[in-house]
Amino acid sequence: MRIVAISNQKGGVGKTTTALNLAACLTQKGVRVLLVDLDPQANATSGLGLAQEDGGSLYSALVEGTDPRQAIRSTRLPNLSIIRSHQELAGCEIELAQAGNHMARLRDVLAPLRDSGHFDYAILDTPPSLGVLMTGALAAADELLVPIQCEYFGLEGLSKIVNVVQQIRECGANPNLLLEGIVMTMYDSRANLANQVVNDVRNYFAETCYQTLIPRTVRLGEAPSFGKSIIEYEPSGRGAQAYRALAEEFLARRSGAPIQAPGPLPTEVAA
């Protein structure tokens, strides 16, 4: 099982949207995915129409040493399982920070899941902060996927997360952490700034930046309020097409297959 952290310390960049919908699209390819909601806000949990449940998060595994496999729940999507979040994870930040091994704790907790052979990928949806849960996720992950918004502040956030990755490597917490990909989200082809940001990121991170662009659409914002992934909510829409393309590119990178640039997205405002 490969562990993929989807992280950005900046909020509102499409992190949870990407974690949820990438996971859903991968399962359509027959990939077995475990979605781990590490954000105390539990947006990935509610985005799949699931309720928070006392004891349903990784809190007890992280703090009390219980078996993390007890927290795994199936979803209505074949091949997709989830470890839900709960607001109790907010308290976990403080308790783990006081422990001597807080950077390695999540990695140790996920080890039985990695060795079980039940999943191909674990996708970690992390909080939008540089707290213990996010840094612990980076210490536990094999690779990092960074969603950034196609705006100027997205570039600032990207530079910070790149520095964090370097610090995680250099301090020995995870010297093999791979910055696997950068995903450009909320893209509007009509905006000059969006196109400039995309070009800048691709110039500096040519081999890291995904070719797939996630468009800004109303439907991507609506889907979580119905507890559905975008491929359930509007399977033929632009958002679903983009995340399917992202999943294909994600898998192509790992298979060594040539990656084809996706076709242009429709430019209409309708989602």
Tens-digit pLDDT profile for the chain (271 aa)?
Answer: 999 999 998 888 999 999 999 999 999 999 999 999 999 999 999 999 998 877 789 999 998 889 999 999 999 999 999 999 998 888 887 788 777 778 889 999 999 999 888 999 999 999 988 888 999 999 999 999 999 998 877 777 788 888 999 999 999 999 999 999 999 999 998 888 889 989 989 988 888 999 999 999 999 999 999 999 999 999 999 999 999 999 999 999 988 644 444 444 433 333 3
Whether 82 is in a domain gets the answer: yes
**Residues 133 and 87: beta-carbon distance below 8 Å:** no
Sign for the CA dihedral angle at 63, 91, 130, 57 comes to positive
Return all residues near 251 (Cβ < 8 A) that are at least 6 apart.
Answer: 26, 29, 31
Whether 178 is in a domain gets the answer: yes
Whether 268 is in a domain gets the answer: no
pTM, 2 dp: 0.90
Please report, for the domain that includes residue 221, its CATH number.
Answer: 3.40.50.300
Whether 118 is in a domain gets the answer: yes
Whether 181 is in a domain gets the answer: yes
Rounded to 5 degrees, φ, ψ at 181 are -165, 155
What per-residue confidence (pLDDT) applies to 256?
65
User: What is the number of domains present in the chain?
Assistant: 1
The parent domain of residue 48 ranges over: 2-255
Whether 23 is in a domain gets the answer: yes
